[in-house]
Each structure stands twice: as C-alpha cells, then as structure tokens.
A = this chain, B = another copy of it.
Amino acid sequence: MNIVILKEMAPYERRVSGTPETVKKFKALGADIAVESGAGLSASISDEDYAAMGATVTDRAAAVSGADIILGVQGPDPDSISGAKPGAWIVAGLNPFVERARIDAYAVGGFEALAMEFMPRITRAQSMDILSSQSNLSGYKAVLDAAAEYGRSFPMMMTAAGTVSPAKAFIMGVGVAGLQAIATAKRLGAQVSATDVRSATREQIESLGAKAIFVESVAGIEGEGKGGYATEMSEEYRQAQAELVSSHIAKQDIVITTALIPGKAAPRLISDAQIATMKPGSVIVDLAVEQGGNVEGSVLGEVVERHGVKIVGHRNVPSRLAADASALFARNLYNFLSAFWNKENNAPVLDEEIGNAVRVTQGGKVVNERLLQLTGVTQ
C-alpha cells in the first residue's frame, strides 16, 4: 500500500496533507509513504522531518509512480498523477462544485476520487471532517486578522492616561468558524455578540459568554438543513435580518461574517449602505469571500476601505495558519483511512454510508449523488 503526500501547487496554498506525525502512524499501519520534496516547507516541515519518520522523499513523478492512495489538501492536477496505479484513490479537499472539470478528468483518468468536504456530519466521522477542523482555525484567524487591521485595542485597558474601551465584536454565522471566532474575540477581551439563522445556536452563543442577536417572530428563521448545515432563508427572514443588522452593526467595531451554503454562493449579509453606518476605523472580516462574499464590496485577497471601514477578504484563511491547519488536516485524512483499514488487505475498505458520501468518481464515471443532483447530469 503506497501512500503519497503531494506538494500543493495551487496559488496561496501553504498547507500539506501529511505531517511527520501521520507518516509515522501510516507506517505503523503497514503502509509505505512517499513525500514530494518540499511538500511541507510552507508549513515549517522539512524533507528531513518526513524522512526521519520513514518516508521516502523524492520528486513528484517518482513519488506518484505505483501509488495506491494520493493525499492532497486540494485536488492535484490530473496530468501530474498519471503514473499512479489504475484505480488509485485521490483523497483531498476537491471542491467538487467549483472544480467540476477536474473531477471529470479524475473519472476519465480512472481514479477513485474522494472529496473530503463531503464527509457526512455524523458522530463517528467528526474526526475526519476537514471542513470542521479548518473552519475552527479560520474562526480563530479571522479575529486575529481583524485585530491586525483595527487601530484600537480589543480589551479594555485601565491606564494612567485613562481607560481604553473594549472593542465591540459581532459574529454573523455561528458554525464551527463562528463559535471559534466568538471564543477568540472573548479571549482577547472584546464585547462579543453573535447571530445565526439557526435559532438553536442561541444557547451555544450564550454559553460562550456572548450576546445572542436574533430576529424574533419571523417565519423562516429555522434554517437548519440536512446534516447540520444552514440552508437558504426566506426573503422575509432576509429582510428582517438586514434590519436587525442595520441597527446593531452601526454600533460595532468589528464584524466577522462566516455564512456559507454548500454548493451555492454565500448569502449577502451586509450591504454597502449598512457599512456606511459604521464608525470610521471599524473592521469587517468576510470569511465567505471565496464563495462570493457575505459583505458587499469585499474583494478576494485584499483589504479594501469603504466609508472608512476596512473590509478584509483574505484568501484561504486556514493556509494563514499553515502549520496547525496542516496538522489537523493530516490527522483528518489519517483518521479517515485508518478507521477503514483492513489488516488483511493492508488497505482501507470504505463502508457504504461514508464511502458513498465522499466518493465522487469510480470506474471512469462521476458517481456522487450530491454532485449529480446539483449539475442535473446523470451518467
């Protein structure tokens, strides 16, 4: 069983799909590990660190040659992995809704591609969930990115020259990222409030010591969809939320938006007119900027200023914490493969519930239900 850890080639990608820790664990399972030279550098892991755990460090062609399983953070270029065994697995974050052409190429190439972001949100798969592990770090980093741009202190400071007021931080969208953003902003001493379309999050918000800001008595507020994801809201709800935000946001120093709907454009939560009501020097971090943005005027990869308010739209936020993001991502992949490891075959054998959820190509075809439903194509 040959497992390969590739160097990521996508721009702005600093993470790596395996670490010395997971190399060691895969070796203990009985697998051979090849690492593409330089794979870990941007996450502060040297080739020697991998080699010390028993990995073979080499170039991509040699690493991929005869591979059974190819690990990646993002999906690798199909041409660059043609030397792998027929039917080899690709285990990575494949971004299938956006990168559909690449998924098709994996099918044509005879790969069995497993999209880790399709991991079902069930208890036994929690430790395999890359969206959760990476969102957690994004929520942490979003607060630091806000603090980096903010010209004031987050905590209250009692100084000889007088008191510095604490920052008021508002977290919109209380999934994994939002919860960690609340916790981090609280840690740093801000006065934190939060909202979400799922009213069940109210308790979570309050248990973290933040104030829950909720649209009340509006139909369509119960936005919890299949698998714990948020679904789209009614137009009535959107309008009520926008009004609530309009009054609350004008008093905020920091706003962090985290609202994503899988496979769809991110919902618009903040309009330009609402930004204009904020105090100059306030900061908005749009964690959904790569999916079109929650904030009007946010620009992918840039910090822009509108009405004196900075709008932060960093790309690939988990990559901005490359070392920890890689450590958790690599553990997700190890937890996934090891949970299904068959000692006799010395290879993982997936079960139906998880296998069918994550598998996007097999036997030359695109096979995933979510993907086929969305595109309306059946093969």
Closest chain B residue, CB of each to CB of A148: B148
Assess the B43–A151 pair: CB atoms within 8 A.
Answer: yes
Contacts of A279 in B (CB 8 A): 44
Q: CB of A322 within 8 A of chain B?
A: yes
Assess the A164–B44 pair: CB atoms within 8 A.
Answer: no
Using an 8 Å CB-CB cutoff, how does the interface string of A140-178 with B read, 1 for contact, 0 for none? 100011011011110101011110100000000000000
Contacts of A152 in B (CB 8 A): 321, 323-324
Assess the B188–A153 pair: CB atoms within 8 A.
Answer: no
The CB with the most chain B CB atoms within 10 A, among A126, A308, A323, is that of A323
Known contacts: A161-B328, A161-B332, A328-B161. The answer to whether A281 contacts B133 by CB under 8 A is no
Q: CB of A136 within 8 A of chain B?
A: yes
Using an 8 Å CB-CB cutoff, how does the interface string of A306-350 with B read, 1 for contact, 0 for none? 001000000000001111100110011001000000000000000
The listed residue (B45, B127, B155, B157) touching A161 by CB distance below 8 A is B127
Given the complex of chains A and B, what is the CA–CA distance between A188 and B189 in angstroms? 9
The listed residue (B45, B126, B151) touching A160 by CB distance below 8 A is B126
Minimum CB–CB distance for A185 against chain B, Å = 11
Given the complex of chains A and B, what is the CA–CA distance between A151 and B137 in angstroms? 11
Contacts of A322 in B (CB 8 A): 151
Closest chain B residue, CB of each to CB of A322: B151
Given contacts A43-B151, A151-B324, A155-B184, 13 further A-B contacts (CB under 8 A): A14-B151, A44-B281, A44-B308, A133-B159, A140-B155, A144-B144, A144-B147, A152-B323, A155-B187, A161-B335, A187-B187, A187-B188, A281-B323
13 pairs, A vs B, C-beta closer than 8 Å? A43-B281, A44-B279, A44-B280, A44-B281, A44-B308, A45-B280, A46-B280, A129-B161, A140-B155, A144-B147, A151-B324, A152-B323, A162-B331
